[in-house]
């Protein structure tokens, strides 16, 4: 029997179009006004493969999270937010459990997430729900270099197997926990993702087949083009040279700077530093992952 008909309860459910008003209102106050949710909401809402979820309380959306299919058997948890007015009341725990429950039912393979090394609530929640920490990442950035660039050539579709093999057997890939960041999203390279990246002309040979790099596109706060580097693949001793040439490639292609998110492996950090990259973030971030209990 319902005793407290008027008492609001937290209900987690798939997002509805009208939720955007509440979500845009409370995300204005997250990360000093730099939250990106308003720019991706429509695209996330239209995604037919994952789940955009909200937590509703007292008739309005007060929290959200998104599960995204990245490649076959690879999923990404993102957009985990709670209205600052009601943070610390376990609404985040409810959303996290809800989206993970959805993934247990409909997902497969691996689900991953990235969170600041300072965000202890998310570390706790991840560990409590069966995730393990893959490692620690940092961001690296360098201005584009207005100098003559070495030859880079776009990888052709018929070179898929050669490019995939080159990338996944390279030391930089293995030192990066066999994962790449394709734009604030971590994934393992597989045939499907490499095929897609090649079709989008994001994969390049360097020095014939002496090296390979994978790019993504970003913008800085002033709207300038930023070249994201997912993977600088070549012999470890040549990585500084490749990274320097990527800065030249950036300038030649209208980018103002180069940016990448990599695991803080000493060899990779040393190569990035030698090539003039610095670390713009104040703190590092952790990557967590969880294997599907029934469909691994
Ligand atoms: C991170 C965020 C989503 C958490 O939501 P929340 O509703 O405030 O968090 P909750 O109150 O549900 O707490 C989550 C868990 O952390 C635990 N927790 C709280 N403080 C903690 C601390 N200092 N150390 C360890 N665990 C802590 C809670 O006990 C709870 O776990 P439990 O369910 O096992 O008890 C929310 O603070 C937020 O939106 N922050 C700004 C945006 C952001 O940083 N998002 C995360 C991106 S990865």
Q: CA 37, 178, 47, 132 torsion: positive or negative?
A: negative
- Give residues (CB < 6 A) around ligand 1: 30, 80-82, 87-93, 115, 119-122, 124-125, 128
What is the CATH T-level fold of the domain 138-281, as seen in this structure?
Aminopeptidase (3.40.630)
- HSE of 11, CA atoms in CB hemisphere, 13 A: 11
CA of 53 to the centre of ligand 1 (A): 17
Pocket test residue of 12, 22, 85, 92 for ligand 1, highest count of atoms within 8 A of CB: 92
Atom of ligand 1 nearest to the CA of 88: 11
- HSE of 273, CA atoms in CB hemisphere, 13 A: 8
What does the block give as tokens for 287? Answer: 């990557």
pTM greater than 0.85: yes
CA of 200 to the centre of ligand 1 (A): 37
**Cβ atoms 68, 50 nearer than 8 A:** yes
Alpha helix ranges (H) inside the chain: 19-27, 37-46, 91-106, 120-128, 160-168, 171-175, 191-199, 239-252, 266-274
pLDDT in tens, 115-148: 999 999 999 999 999 999 999 999 999 999 999 9
Task: List Cβ neighbours of 210 (8 Å cut-off, separation of 6 or more).
Answer: 234, 238
Question: Angle at Cα 110 formed by Cα 107 and Cα 114, nearest 5°?
Answer: 110
φ and ψ at 106, to 5 degrees? Answer: -115, -15
- 68 DSSP β-pair partners: 76
**Cβ atoms 253, 229 nearer than 8 A:** no
Rounded to whole angstroms, the Cα distance separating 260 from 27 reads 25
Average pLDDT of the chain, as a whole number: 95
**Cβ atoms 111, 289 nearer than 8 A:** yes
Domain with CATH 3.40.630.30 in the chain: 11-108, 138-281
Q: Could you read off the pLDDT tens digit of each residue along the chain, which spans 296 residues?
A: 555 666 679 999 999 999 999 999 999 999 999 999 999 999 999 999 999 999 999 999 999 999 999 999 999 999 999 999 999 999 999 999 999 999 999 999 999 999 999 999 999 999 999 999 999 999 999 999 999 987 899 999 999 999 999 999 999 999 999 999 999 999 999 999 999 999 999 999 999 999 999 999 999 989 999 999 999 999 999 999 999 999 999 999 999 999 999 999 999 999 999 999 998 788 899 999 999 999 99
- Write down the CATH superfamily of domain 11-108: Gcn5-related N-acetyltransferase (GNAT) (3.40.630.30)
Q: How far lies 158's CA from each of 162, 188, 202, 203, 208, in Å? A: 9, 21, 15, 13, 15
Take atom 17 of ligand 1 and give the residue whose Cα is closest.
121
Among candidate residues 229, 14, 81, the one with its CA nearest the CA of residue 141: 229
DSSP code for 238: G
**Cβ atoms 137, 259 nearer than 8 A:** no
CA of 144 to the centre of ligand 1 (A): 38
pLDDT in tens, 211-245: 999 999 999 989 999 999 999 999 999 999 999 99
- 288 DSSP β-pair partners: 113, 133
Rounded to whole angstroms, the Cα distance separating 31 from 33 reads 5
Crossing angle between the packed helical segments 91-106 and 120-128, to the nearest 10 degrees = 40
Helix/strand/coil percentages in the chain, nearest 5: 35, 30, 35
Task: Report the relative pairing of strands 11-14 and 225-233 from DSSP bridges.
Answer: unpaired
Rounded to whole angstroms, the Cα distance separating 139 from 257 reads 13
């Amino acid at each position: 029997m319902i005793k407290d008909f008027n008492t609001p309860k937290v209900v987690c459910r798939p997002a509805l179009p009208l939720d955007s008003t509440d979500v845009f209102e409370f995300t204005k106050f997250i990360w000093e006004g730099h939250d990106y949710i308003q720019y991706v909401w429509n695209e996330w809402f239209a995604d037919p493969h994952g789940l955009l979820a909200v937590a509703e309380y007292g008739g309005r959306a007060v929290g959200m999270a998104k599960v995204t299919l990245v490649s076959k058997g690879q999923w990404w948890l993102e957009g985990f937010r709670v209205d600052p007015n009601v943070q610390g009341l376990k609404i985040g725990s409810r959303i996290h459990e809800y989206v993970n429950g959805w993934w247990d039912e409909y997902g497969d393979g691996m689900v991953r997430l990235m969170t600041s090394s300072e965000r202890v609530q998310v570390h706790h929640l991840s560990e409590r729900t069966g995730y393990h920490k893959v490692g620690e990442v940092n961001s690296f950035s360098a201005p584009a270099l207005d100098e003559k660039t070495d030859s880079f050539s776009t990888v052709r579709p018929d070179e898929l197997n050669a490019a995939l093999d080159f990338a996944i057997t390279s030391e930089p890939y293995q030192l990066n926990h066999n994962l790449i960041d394709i734009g604030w999203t971590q994934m393992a390279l597989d045939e499907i993702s490499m095929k897609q990246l090649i079709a989008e002309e994001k994969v390049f040979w360097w020095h014939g087949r002496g090296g390979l790099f994978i790019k993504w596109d970003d913008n800085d706060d002033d709207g300038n083009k930023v070249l994201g580097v997912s993977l600088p693949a070549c012999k470890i001793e040549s990585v500084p040279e490749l990274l320097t040439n990527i800065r030249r490639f950036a300038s030649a292609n209208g980018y103002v700077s180069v940016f990448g998110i990599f695991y803080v492996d000493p060899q990779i950090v040393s190569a990035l530093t030698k090539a003039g990259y610095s670390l713009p973030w104040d703190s590092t971030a952790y990557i967590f992952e969880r294997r599907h209990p029934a469909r691994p």
